[in-house]
Each structure stands twice: as structure tokens, then as C-alpha cells.
Amino acid sequence: MIREHGLLLTRRDTPDSDFYDVPTPEEVAAYDPTQGPCCTAERFRMDIRGFPKSAWNISAAKIFACSFQEAHAQFRDKAQREVERAWTTHLAYLKNVYQKQTSRARDIEAGKQRRRRKERRTQMYYRRMGVAEGSRHLRNDGLAIIKELGIDGMSSDESDHPPGNGIPVYQVRIKKWRSCKVTEILRACDALHLRMRYGGDWDASPGAWPHLRIPSLKYSTRAAASQLPSNFYSLNWFKSLNEFQRDALQPRIEEYSLEVPEQIVR
């Protein structure tokens, strides 16, 4: 009956239902039991993140016990402390349920972030392909370099932008394995894309603007793309590999010109 009454007070349908109206850490820290109860039976709020015997939860246990005994006449002759102890024991179980819920929620959100990063890499790959195909200076080597890298050779990024607060900003993760020369080619494509979007008179053409990507100090944890031309890899990084890692990488002997065309630099 403790569990059922707890569901009623917390406005939850089942033991696995989400928890609502959880007090913030700031509210819990600021709570002074000498100033009155932490909540009411009508708006019952337990500190599901904190210790069962915190000042907030001790106060909430008293509220629960009073409500429980009022609702169940057969328990009115019981000492209120017994009901409080029963609720405190149940709260430890609820805390475990909450931790599992938040862990699942974090896993779900992490999966969504991975999918969004993959989608941005895919969009970036095809955008750069389009730029290289449309540029007579990049149509040969530049296009071939992007094709060789593939979608997985594009840099990952992560949002550094709270939702709804203006232009999205993404921090680009560093690929330790990729040659700086390759990165320069890719950035040249991005710069050319912006120039093509603006036009000669700086009048933006239709379509969504590419999101703002800025370098970060974080390194990508994704494995290096394998079987690429040897000069696609950072020389210092390649030298740090052991024999087994180099064999697994299988770099190709052929090389591409990785110089950004002078016409684009100008």
C-alpha cells in the first residue's frame, strides 16, 4: 500500500513511470526545515536524486505519512514514524528506478547525437563533392581526394549551442590521423562554397546556410579510415603506430597532389 499511495502522491501511473516536479539541487540546498515542510500532499515532491534521509526527504516522509494515514483508516493507530520508515525504505527503491531511467535517457540522447553527427558528416561530404565538381580548379584532384576520404573521412563535430539561441555553432573534433594538407583542401571547398553562395555582390542565394564550425581542442575517437593514399595520413601520427597497426591501416603507395590550387588561394 505504501507503493500505491506513493504513485498517487507523485502522480505516476506505474512503478516505471517517469518522475515529475523533482526539486532542483538549488531548491534542496536552500531548504530550511525550521521554516516549514518542503512540500504538500497536493504537490508532493521528493528529492529522488538525494539521500533518503536528507533534510528535504525527512520532511517529505512526514508529509507522506500524514497523507497515508489519513487515506487508510486501518493504519491510523500505527506510529507515524513507522510509516515514515516504510516510505524511506521505498524511496531507496524509487531512487534506483530513477537512476535507471536517467541512464536510459542518456543512452537514447547519445544515440541521437551520434545520428545527428553522422547526418552532418554526410551532408558535408556531398556538399564538398558538389563544390569540387563545380570548380574547374578542384574538379580533378580535389574531387578525387573527397571521394577517397568518403563520409567517414569527414570531421565529426558536436554542438556548442543551446537550442533556440541563435545560429548553431559546432566544434570540430581534430582527426589526429589526417594530414593537414588534406584538411586544407577540405577547408578550401568550404570557403569556395560560401563564396558561391554569396555571389560576387555578396547577395546570398537561396537555401540554408552551412552551420558555423569552429576548431576545438578535442580529438575524434573514431578509428582512422583505412586503405587511403599514404600522404592522406599525418606523418607524425603514422610514425607513432606499431607494426600491427600499420598493417591494419593498409595505406596505399599512390599519392595525390594535396596543394590547394593557387587560383583558389587568391
In contact, 69 and 44? CB cutoff 8 Å = no
Ranges of the chain whose pLDDT falls below 50: 162-164, 202
Q: What is the pLDDT of residue 198?
A: 66
Q: What is the pLDDT of residue 155?
A: 83
Q: What is the distance between the alpha carbons of residues 113 and 32, in angstroms, rounded to a whole number?
A: 40
pLDDT at 266: 61
Q: pLDDT at position 202, please? A: 45
pLDDT in the model for residue 106: 85
